[in-house]
């Protein structure tokens, strides 16, 4: 039984990992944000169950930035270390819309298969 | 700022390339991890537990760092630019080589003087050869990213090909000088019937010099 439970969790985390970029984009469409804040929000929305590994998160940032879906800028924190903020671009918004459509399609496809 | 966390990140970035991108990623990671650490402390974690939690949550940081090595589009553009520059230099040099007999013909026809034309021709040849040698010597060299054997091999290969470039430039200079000598001797003494032999002598000299360098290398 324990094993079964773990399998379900791993399917979910695989799905989350597979959609990291879309998740980031949908956070950034609400407001500009930085790594830890996005991760905190993911944790909160999933009732403390999921959190992205930093390596996954920052790799996704690099990819999104290279694909010109987001841009970055340094915040002007007066105390403590500087934060790097990310902002979604017009192209990023388009990609997000398309990804959402794709996801709905995939969802109904998987539903019909299992 | 947590000292241990800083040391952990410093260590992880020890072999990262010394680029602006790498420094920025380090700064970004540190500030985010530190905020997470402080939140954990505030929510009642011990310093040790908070540190372990943060480190465990990072995942494969090495993979993130290894991505810094991948050539960016900037780099690609730079290489393309260098290639274009190199092609332009070669084209100009070849054009000058082809045009170099013109002053001889021109001065001879217009003023009936031979020496002035030959002098200008030599200036043409010197300019073209200078361009080729400059190209060979200024071609960007591969700079190794880290201390691995693969990188050393790449650097070694790059050095060798640089040597080859220099050799090629010198060879083309050598052949243009042969052509110049052929023309001068032929015009000056009118010995067209024999002067072509200089090309055979030139080929022999080239082979001997090549053999000497091969011998020295091995």
Chain segment B110-120, per-residue pLDDT in tens: 887 777 788 88
| Radius of gyration from C-alpha coordinates of chain A | 16
Nearest CA of chain A to the CA of B67: how many Å?
Answer: 8
Q: Nearest 5°: CA angle at B116, between B113 and B122?
A: 140
Taking an 8 Å cut-off on Cβ atoms, the answer to whether A58 and B63 are in contact is no
Which of A35, A42, A55 should be substituted to probe chain B, the one whose Cβ sees the most B Cβ atoms within 10 Å?
A55
3-state secondary structure of B203: helix
Residue B107 to residue B82: CA distance in whole angstroms = 38
Q: Does A84 touch chain B (CB under 8 A)?
A: yes
Contacts of A109 (CB under 8 A, 6+ apart): none
> Does the model's pTM come out above 0.90?
no
Residue B125 to residue B101: CA distance in whole angstroms = 10
Taking an 8 Å cut-off on Cβ atoms, the answer to whether B59 and A56 are in contact is yes
Contacts of B216 (CB under 8 A, 6+ apart): none
HSE at residue B29, side-chain half, CA atoms within 13 A, is: 31
Asked if B143 and B155 touch (Cβ cutoff 8 Å), the reply is yes
Mean pLDDT score, B138-163 = 61
Nearest CA of chain A to the CA of B59: how many Å?
Answer: 5
**For B57, nearest residue in chain A (alpha carbons):** A53
Which of A62, A81, A83 is the closest to B67 by Cβ?
A62
Q: What ipTM did this prediction achieve?
A: 0.83
| pLDDT tens digits along B68-111 | 776 555 566 777 788 888 888 888 988 888 888 888 888 888 88
| pLDDT tens digits along B197-210 | 888 888 888 888 88
Residue B106 to residue B97: CA distance in whole angstroms = 16
Residues in B touching A55 (Cβ below 8 Å): 58-61, 63-64
Which of A17, A42, A48, A58 should be substituted to probe chain B, the one whose Cβ sees the most B Cβ atoms within 10 Å?
A58
Taking an 8 Å cut-off on Cβ atoms, the answer to whether A81 and B24 are in contact is no
């Amino acid at each position: 039984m324990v094993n079964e439970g773990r399998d379900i969790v791993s399917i979910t985390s695989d799905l989350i990992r597979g959609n990291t970029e879309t998740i980031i984009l949908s956070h950034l469409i609400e407001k500009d944000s930085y790594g830890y804040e996005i991760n905190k929000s993911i944790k909160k929305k999933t009732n403390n169950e999921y959190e992205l590994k930093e390596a996954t998160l920052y790799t996704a940032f690099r990819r999104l930035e290279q694909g010109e879906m987001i841009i970055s800028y340094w915040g002007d924190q007066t105390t403590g270390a500087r934060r790097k903020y990310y902002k979604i671009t017009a192209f990023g918004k388009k990609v997000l819309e398309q990804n959402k459509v794709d996801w709905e399609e995939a969802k109904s496809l998987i539903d019909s298969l299992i | 700022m947590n000292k241990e966390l800083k040391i952990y990140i410093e260590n992880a970035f020890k072999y990262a390339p010394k680029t602006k991108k790498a420094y920025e990623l380090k700064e970004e990671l540190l500030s985010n991890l530190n905020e997470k650490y402080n939140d954990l402390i505030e929510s009642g974690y011990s310093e040790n537990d908070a540190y372990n939690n943060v480190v465990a949550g990072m995942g494969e940081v090495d993979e993130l760092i290894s991505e810094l090595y991948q050539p960016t589009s900037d780099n690609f553009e730079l290489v393309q630019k260098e290639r274009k520059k190199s092609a332009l230099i070669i084209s100009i040099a070849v054009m000058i080589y082809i045009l170099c007999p013109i002053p001889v013909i021109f001065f001879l026809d217009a003023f009936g003087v031979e020496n002035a034309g030959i002098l200008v021709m030599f200036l043409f040849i010197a300019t073209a050869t200078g361009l080729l040698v400059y190209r060979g010597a200024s071609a960007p060299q591969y700079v190794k990213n880290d201390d691995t054997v693969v990188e050393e091999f790449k650097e070694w290969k790059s050095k060798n090909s640089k040597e080859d470039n220099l050799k090629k430039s010198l060879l083309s200079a050598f052949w243009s000088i042969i052509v110049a000598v052929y023309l001068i001797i032929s015009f000056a003494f009118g010995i067209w019937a024999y002067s072509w032999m200089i090309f055979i002598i030139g080929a022999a000299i080239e082979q001997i010099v090549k053999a000497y360098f091969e011998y020295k290398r091995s």
